[in-house]
């Protein structure tokens, strides 16, 4: 307890206290307003896209705690992302689409200088067939070294694989 009091006193007095105050002020008065404006713009842009393209189909990125899946192109153009609570994805249109994807992950390795061993799957293009009214998911299976594109049908609030 005494050690904690000493730490708090050190952080809040003298030059350290002034630096902490400036950092907190910058966070509250610069970063947070910027973040709220950015999120509002992103939500508005998504709503405009959805109104203009009612036939667009959502493809959710599979929840992945190991690595990062990047969709860098859709049909040779930049992917249009969407965000819903904690899920994100991108839009596709009905018919055949070509998706440019790349996957990256790291694992702890005692032999690596940085302590981590990085793995980068080279960029690939996958072709998918999209049907109107479906919901899709895109992920990567490390063991099988393949991208997994699945369709889900919603039935009474529960998603079942097709």
Per residue in 58-90, pLDDT (tens digit) is 999 998 888 999 999 999 999 999 998 888 999
pLDDT tens across 101-146, in order? 999 998 888 877 778 888 999 999 999 999 988 889 999 999 999 9
pLDDT interval class at 153 (50, 70, 90):
low
136 phi, psi to nearest 5 deg: -125, 160
Nearest residue to 79 via CA among 88, 132, 103: 88
C-alpha distance from residue 94 to each of 40, 110, 126, 134 (Å): 29, 47, 16, 10
Q: Are residues 70 and 102 in contact, defined by beta-carbon separation less than 8 angstroms? A: yes
Q: Which two three-digit tokens encode residue 5?
A: 């009091």
- For 57-94, give the secondary structure using H, E and C: EEEEECCCCCEEEEEEEECCECCCEEEECCEEEEEECC
Q: How far apart are the first and last CA of the chain?
A: 57
* Percent with pLDDT over 90 in the chain: 55
Q: Report the percentage of the chain scoring pLDDT > 70.
A: 94
């Amino acid at each position: 307890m005494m050690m904690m009091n000493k730490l708090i006193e050190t952080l809040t007095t003298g030059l350290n206290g002034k630096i902490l105050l400036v950092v907190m002020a910058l966070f509250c008065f610069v970063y947070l307003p910027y973040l709220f404006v950015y999120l509002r713009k992103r939500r508005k842009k998504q709503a405009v896209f959805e109104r203009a393209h009612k036939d667009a189909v959502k493809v959710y990125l599979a929840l992945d705690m190991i690595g990062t899946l990047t969709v860098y192109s859709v049909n040779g153009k930049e992917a249009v992302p969407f965000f819903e609570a904690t899920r994100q994805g991108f839009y596709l249109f009905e018919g055949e689409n070509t998706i440019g994807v790349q996957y990256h992950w790291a694992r702890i390795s005692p032999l690596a200088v940085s302590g981590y061993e990085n793995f980068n799957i080279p960029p690939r293009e996958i072709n998918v067939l999209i049907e109107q009214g479906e919901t899709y998911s895109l992920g990567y299976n490390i063991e099988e070294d393949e991208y997994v594109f699945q369709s889900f049908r919603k039935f009474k609030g529960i998603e079942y694989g097709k």
